[in-house]
């Protein structure tokens, strides 16, 4: 050290520099070394991060957000992992500029991600996003190499599998939410099995359409299916209108027939009872009963006759001439 300092002094004299005291130079070197050591001994972890400490490349501990100390000079190295940040992967498109008027880019690579085959051998163009968090920093960094790239490949494989288990109508229309939920559950199970340290929060299909080359034919098929569905619904509506009406009319006819049958039975029973009662009276006094019945019959018939001619059966004179053509006056 002294030889090097002496050489530095001779060099400074040859260059015409002022002579620097040896203590000052040593003090400056010590201060610089202390600054370097202090600078490398402290580090800051942001509120949404976890600090992962490596000592000679080996994991030793994790640290929470805040100011912390570590061994300097490369003995310990800190890796910051954003465990509280919502991370996102995009498939089938890329966001160029986020905001109110976001801009997206679609290229050959994104097209290769989005085209997939459904269970009924149709092709769809699907765009989706995955939102996730890093649940275990140690597993995310050290259990699997290139964890984010692997997670992207796993997501694409899972979505292709789930879409391949459903028909094109389910993928494009009514089954999109269910398919996204199934894919999320399956993706989380894979992350747990491979110990990748990721928690899947959401898997959302942004847009699912048939490819542009077959979209007109697909729209024609959809219109035909909608027309078929409309006619089926109209038929069911007419069926639901006519069947209750016919059932009501049949019920009404049955009730009328039952009422008529009950009335006839009751009338017949009443006539039979009346005849039985008359017969009992007739058996007691046949002459009186016969005469009473005769008189009752005349009492019922005579008021309906407009013109009455009464003749004496014992009359011995000439039969009177009757003007039968004379108009009957009431």
The CATH code of the domain that includes 138 is 3.30.479.30
Per-residue model confidence (pLDDT) at position 105? 79
- The answer to whether residue 324 sits within a structural domain is no
Cβ–Cβ < 8 Å for 197, 151 = no
Per-residue model confidence (pLDDT) at position 156? 95
226 has pLDDT over 60: yes
Evaluated on CA atoms 228, 229, 235, 238, the torsion sign reads negative
More confident residue, 287 or 76: 76
- The answer to whether residue 117 sits within a structural domain is yes
22-31, 150-159, 285-294: least confident range: 22-31
Crossing angle of the two packed helices 286-301 and 215-284, in degrees rounded to 10: 130
More confident residue, 187 or 172: 187
Per-residue model confidence (pLDDT) at position 26? 66
The residue from 81, 102, 130 where one domain ends is 81
> Is the domain of 238 the same as that of 147?
no
- The answer to whether residue 156 sits within a structural domain is yes
131 has pLDDT over 90: yes
Per-residue model confidence (pLDDT) at position 330? 46
User: Which residues make Cβ contacts (< 8 Å) with residue 70, sequence separation at least 6?
Assistant: 40, 41, 42, 43, 53, 76, 77, 78
User: Which residues make Cβ contacts (< 8 Å) with residue 304, sequence separation at least 6?
Assistant: none
161 has pLDDT over 70: yes
> Is the domain of 108 the same as that of 204?
yes
> Is the domain of 26 the same as that of 106?
no
Per-residue model confidence (pLDDT) at position 111? 86
Per-residue model confidence (pLDDT) at position 306? 74
- The answer to whether residue 310 sits within a structural domain is no
What is the residue range of 284's domain? 227-297
25-39, 43-57, 126-140, 193-207: least confident range: 25-39
- The answer to whether residue 106 sits within a structural domain is yes
Within 13 Å of residue 192, how many CA atoms lie on the same side as its CB? 8
Average pLDDT over residues 175-203: 94
47-61, 107-121, 153-167, 189-203: least confident range: 107-121
> Is the domain of 56 the same as that of 132?
no
Q: First-to-last CA distance in the chain? A: 164
Per-residue model confidence (pLDDT) at position 10? 59
Residues of the chain with pLDDT > 90, as a percent, come to: 37
More confident residue, 16 or 85: 85
Average pLDDT over residues 311-330: 58
Strand pairing class (115-117; 103-105) = unpaired
> Is the domain of 23 the same as that of 138?
no
pLDDT tier at 29, thresholds 50, 70, 90: low
Virtual torsion, Cα 12, 13, 17, 20, nearest 10 deg:
70
Number of folded domains that form the chain: 3
- The answer to whether residue 24 sits within a structural domain is yes
239-248, 292-301, 317-326: least confident range: 317-326
3 has pLDDT over 90: no
> Is the domain of 92 the same as that of 194?
yes
> Is the domain of 231 the same as that of 144?
no
Query: Nearest-CA neighbor of 39 among 85, 83, 72?
Result: 72
> Is the domain of 76 the same as that of 92?
no
The kind and range of the H/E element at 280 are helix 215-284
Is the full-model pTM beyond 0.85?
no
Per-residue model confidence (pLDDT) at position 174? 84
Taking the C-alpha atoms of residue 163 and residue 176, their distance in angstroms, rounded to an integer, is 9
């Amino acid at each position: 050290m002294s030889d090097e300092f002496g050489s530095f002094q001779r060099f400074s004299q040859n260059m015409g520099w002022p002579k620097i005291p040896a203590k000052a130079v040593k003090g400056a070197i010590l201060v610089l070394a202390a600054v370097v050591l202090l600078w490398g001994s402290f580090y800051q972890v942001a509120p949404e991060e976890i600090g992962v400490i490596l000592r000679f490349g080996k994991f030793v501990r994790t640290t929470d957000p805040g100011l912390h100390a570590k061994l300097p000079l490369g003995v310990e190295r800190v890796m910051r992992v954003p465990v509280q940040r919502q991370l996102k992967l995009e498939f089938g498109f890329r966001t160029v500029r986020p905001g109110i008027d976001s801009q997206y880019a679609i290229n050959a690579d994104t097209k290769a991600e989005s085209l997939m085959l459904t269970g009924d051998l149709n092709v769809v163009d699907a765009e989706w996003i995955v939102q996730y968090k890093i649940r275990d920093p140690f597993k995310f960094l050290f259990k699997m190499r290139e964890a984010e790239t692997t997670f992207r490949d796993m997501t694409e494989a899972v979505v292709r599998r789930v879409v391949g288990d459903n028909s094109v109508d389910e993928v494009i229309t009514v089954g999109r939410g269910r398919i996204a939920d199934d894919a999320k559950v399956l993706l989380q199970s894979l992350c747990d099995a491979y110990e990748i340290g990721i928690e899947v929060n959401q898997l959302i299909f942004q847009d699912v359409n048939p490819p542009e080359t077959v979209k007109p034919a697909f729209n024609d098929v959809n219109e035909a299916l909608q027309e078929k569905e409309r006619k089926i619904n109209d038929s069911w509506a007419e069926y639901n209108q006519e069947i209750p009406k016919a059932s009501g009319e049949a019920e009404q006819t049955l009730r009328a027939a039952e009422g008529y049958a009950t009335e006839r039975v009751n009338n017949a029973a009443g006539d039979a009872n009346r005849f039985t009662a008359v017969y009992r009276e007739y058996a007691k006094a046949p002459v009186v009963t016969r005469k009473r019945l005769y008189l009752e019959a005349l009492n019922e018939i005579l008021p309906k006759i407009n013109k009455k001619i009464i003749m004496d059966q014992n009359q011995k004179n000439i039969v009177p001439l009757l003007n039968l053509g004379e108009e009957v006056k009431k």
